[in-house]
């Protein structure tokens, strides 16, 4: 058995104690063989736009078409405070997964999502080592925090579930109490990129008594979805001004790049 497979099987065994394996495809609900990766049926896994080959060199969003761009439209505009981002799949394909995980009470999806993120980071580290700058070393993983009252209502912060599991898989320090969302930023899906930026400005702060806790550290944020990047950017701004050495992020789903030669 290859080392990676061994690690995966061992971790899989450990995670089974926390969450029973899903019998149904997370995306379409069809009955599946539990040995299928990420609890997706073969058809869904094949139709998903995975961020495998061409991704934005800054935010990691999948790029479509054959044009030679290396940056997505938003990153080409500049103003990114994070160093590098990674994503697993296009949001349009996995909408049902994110919806069930966030609003459908299916917290156990977090395990499969964390495994997909883990595989993404391994892929970036090994498969892309020749073409990319290499995977940045991480000192600390943090979830993008939810506004406390909102988290209480939902019962969990989805970013915290996958962040905690991903940290276990990567054997990295994890801190879900360092960063706080200090006000409710509402639902941003109907806002423009500019409005989103204004909406999340100063929405994050180090928790009381934790100021400077990220000083000198290379921090990686974990979240479920990345669209325009305003939330991640606002978190990065807070962490960097609090002394973090760098901020990168990983998400499960990325909104599609709006530029280039669209194929759909
Ligand atoms: Zn399916
Ligand atoms: Zn980008």
Distance, C-alpha 73 to centroid of its chain: 19
Does residue 17 register a pLDDT over 50?
no
Nearest ligand, measured from the Cα of 61 = 2
Give distance in angstroms: CA of 110 to centre of ligand 2: 24
Per-residue model confidence (pLDDT) at position 260 = 52
Tokens standing for 235? 């978190």
Rounded to an integer, what distance in angstroms lies between the CA atom of residue 134 and that of residue 12? 26
Sign of CA dihedral 228, 202, 99, 135: positive
- Give the whole-number percent of the chain exceeding pLDDT 90: 53
Between 190 and 110, the more confident residue is 110
Global confidence as pTM: 0.86
CA 198 from centroid of its chain's CA atoms = 22
| Ligand with an atom nearest the CA of residue 97 | 1
Cα 226 to ligand 2 centre (Å): 10
pLDDT in tens, 203-249: 999 999 999 999 999 999 999 999 889 999 999 999 999 999 999 99
pLDDT at 57 over 80: yes
Q: Report which bound ligand comes closest to the CA of 59.
A: 2
- Separation of CA 202 and ligand 2 centre (Å): 22
pLDDT in tens, 32-50: 987 888 999 999 999 998 8
185-191 average pLDDT score: 81
pLDDT value of residue 158: 93
Q: Which ligand is nearest to the CA of 38?
A: 1
Cα(75) to ligand 2 centroid in Å equals: 4
Four-residue CA torsion sign, 90, 95, 98, 102: positive
Q: How far is ligand 1, taken at its centre, from the CA of residue 30, in Å?
A: 6
The per-residue pLDDT for 262 is 42
Contact yes or no for 199/168 (Cβ under 8 A):
no
Distance between Cα 12 and ligand 1 center (Å): 21
| Of the candidates 58, 66, 112, the residue with the CA atom closest to the CA atom of residue 232 | 58
Q: List the single range of 13-22, 24-33, 149-158 with lowest mean pLDDT.
A: 13-22
**Which position has the token pair 């970036």?**
124
Q: Measured in angstroms, how far is the CA atom of residue 194 from the centroid of ligand 2?
A: 16
Q: How far apart are the CA of 10 and the centre of ligand 2, in A? A: 34
pLDDT confidence bin for 4, thresholds 50/70/90: very low
- Ligand 2 ion local residues (Cβ < 5 A): 56, 58-59, 61, 72, 75
Order of strands, sheet of 218-226, starting from the edge strand that comes earlier in the sequence:
84-90, 246-254, 218-226, 140-143
Starting from the CA of residue 94, give the closest ligand: 1
- Contact 184/147 with Cβ under 8 angstroms? yes
φ, ψ of residue 86 to 5 degrees: the values are -135, 140
Query: 80-120, pLDDT tens digit by residue?
Result: 999 999 999 999 999 999 999 988 888 889 999 999 999 99
CA of 159 to the centre of ligand 1 (A): 23
Ligand nearest to the CA of 93: 1
DSSP the chain: --HHHHHHHHHHHHHHHHSPPPSB-TTT--B--TTSGGG--HHHHHHS-BS-S-B-TTT--B--SS----S-HHHHT----SSEEEEEEEHHHHHHHHHHHHTSS-TTHHHHHHHHHHHHHHHHHHTTTTTSS-PPP-SEEEEPPPBHHHHHHHSS-HHHHHHHHHHHHHT--B-SSSEEE-S-----TTS-HHHHHHHHTT-EEEPTT-TTTTTT-EEEEEEEEESSSHHHHHHHHHHHHTT-SEEEEEEEEEPPP-SS----
Compute, in angstroms, the gap from residue 3 CA to the centroid of ligand 1.
29
Instruction: Give the pLDDT confidence score for residue 259 in this predicted structure.
Output: 67
pLDDT in tens, 202-216: 899 999 999 999 999
In the chain, what are the domains? 50-254 (3.40.50.2020)
């Amino acid at each position: 058995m290859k080392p990676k497979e061994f690690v995966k099987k061992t971790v899989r065994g450990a995670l089974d104690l926390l969450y029973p394996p899903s019998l149904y495809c997370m995306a379409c609900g069809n009955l599946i063989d539990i040995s299928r990766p990420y609890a997706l049926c073969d058809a869904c896994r094949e139709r998903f736009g995975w961020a495998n080959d061409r991704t934005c060199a800054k935010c990691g969003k999948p790029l479509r078409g054959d044009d030679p761009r290396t940056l997505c439209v938003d990153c080409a505009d500049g103003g990114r405070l994070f160093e590098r981002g990674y994503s697993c799949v296009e949001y349009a394909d996995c909408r049902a997964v994110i919806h069930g995980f966030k609003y459908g009470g299916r917290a156990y999806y977090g395990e499969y999502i964390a495994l997909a993120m883990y595989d993404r980071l391994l892929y970036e580290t090994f498969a892309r080592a020749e073409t990319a700058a290499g995977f940045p070393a991480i000192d600390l993983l943090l979830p993008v925090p939810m506004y406390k009252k909102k988290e209480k209502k939902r019962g969990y912060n989805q970013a915290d579930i996958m962040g905690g599991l991903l940290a276990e898989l990567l054997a990295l320090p994890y801190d879900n109490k360092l960063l706080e969302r200090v006000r409710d930023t509402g639902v941003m899906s109907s806002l423009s990129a500019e409005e989103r930026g204004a909406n999340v400005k100063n929405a994050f702060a180090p928790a009381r008594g934790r100021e400077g806790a990220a000083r000198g550290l290379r921090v990686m944020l974990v979240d479920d979805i990345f669209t325009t990047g305003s939330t991640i950017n606002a978190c990065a701004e807070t962490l960097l001004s609090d002394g973090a050495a760098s901020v990168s992020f990983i998400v499960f789903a990325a909104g599609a790049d709006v530029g280039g030669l669209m194929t759909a």
